[in-house]
Each structure stands twice: as C-alpha cells, then as structure tokens.
Amino acid sequence: MTFALIYSIISFSIQTNTATIFDFKDQQDLSNWFVVNDGVMGGYSEGSISLNDDNNGLFKGYVTTRNNGGFSSIRYQFKQKEISKFNNVSIKVRGDGNTYQLRIKNRSNTRVSYIQYFETSKEWETITIPINTFYASFRGYRLDVSNFSGSGIEEIAILIGNKKNENFALEIERIWLE
C-alpha cells in the first residue's frame, strides 16, 4: 500500500467517527448564534460573539452580579443531529482561566438545559465531555432527573456565571461530536 492510500483510509476512518457541530474557520456565518445575557431578568452583564482576526469565535464580555444578575451566554441552534453513535461533545478553546458551562438541548424550544462545567487555561486545549454526564438544569438549579439520554441535539450553548464580577474571553475554534 502506498502512503497516500494509507493516509486516505486513516483520514476517512477518523472523519466518520466525528460530526462537526460548528467550525468557526469553515462556517463564518454567525446568524444562528444568539447572545443571552442576564438582562432578561434585570441584570447588567454583557457578552458578545464575533469572529476574531484568526477566524475563531470570540465570546467575550463582562459578568456582574449587580441587580441579581450574573451570567452571559451564547447559543447555537441547528437542525437536529443524531447522536446515538457518539459518546462525547468536544470543544477546542483558548480560555482565560475562568470556568464555563457547556450546555446541550435535544430540542431548542425546551426550557431545560443539560450542562457540564469546564475549566479553561490560556493555552489552546480540547475539552472532551461524555454526553451521558450532562445533567439537567433549569435557571441555575440542578433537577432531580436522569442525565442526558436523548438521541439527538439541536442546540448547544456556552455560559459563564460564576457568582462573581469578572471579565471573560473565550476563543473557540470548533465544537464537534465524537
């Protein structure tokens, strides 16, 4: 076998074991990304999503607990992806040392999110979270129901809300299933 053929087989094998949710380098249309800040409940936090000079997503802003606020989030809605053959959600990020939540929903119109926390550093890193560890949450409270067990997802979100005043900046290259 030639090297090119072996490389093609390995590349195809790797590609079939993953499914991209969003790759900022390839999909630069941010029209399905939405910012939801604590202003929906009277808070004053501010966040935004944009593309930076390196064509990565940049979720940045300031979270304040003023007036019972304390969170900023971005949400991406998409046509439902079948996830039964995947075990993990992965995200490649360069953070700021803050803690964030990765959130998934099987339907974008449901009010319950399934969440898992992740820590960031100031280096590029891939965060991989098993899908079955995402737990149900509503308005910051953990619900006494089973962890995520859906067969599909159609919304993913990133939220920062650490119950303190803080600036944040999270650079995102890609989000995918594996």
Structural domain includes residue 38: yes
**How far, in Å, CA of 145 to CA of 112, rounded?**
11
Angular region, 55: left φ>0, alpha ψ -120 to 50, beta rest: left
pLDDT at 128 over 60: yes
State the Cα–Cα distance between residues 159 and 177, nearest whole angstrom: 19
CATH number at residue 69: 2.60.120.430
Mean pLDDT of 30-50: 96
Residue 4 lies in a domain: no
Q: Which domain holds residue 41?
A: 19-177
Q: What is the mean pLDDT of residues 122-150?
A: 95
Is residue 45 within 8 Å of 39, Cβ to Cβ? yes
Q: Stretch 111-130: mean pLDDT, rounded?
A: 97
CA nearest to 68, candidates 37, 44, 88:
44
Report the domain count for the chain.
1
* Per-residue pLDDT at 7 exceeds 60: no
Could you give the percent of the chain with pLDDT greater than 90?
Answer: 87
Residue-wise pLDDT for 79-97, tens only, equals: 999 999 999 999 999 999 9
Summarize pLDDT for 155-173 with one digit per residue, the tens: 999 999 999 999 999 999 9
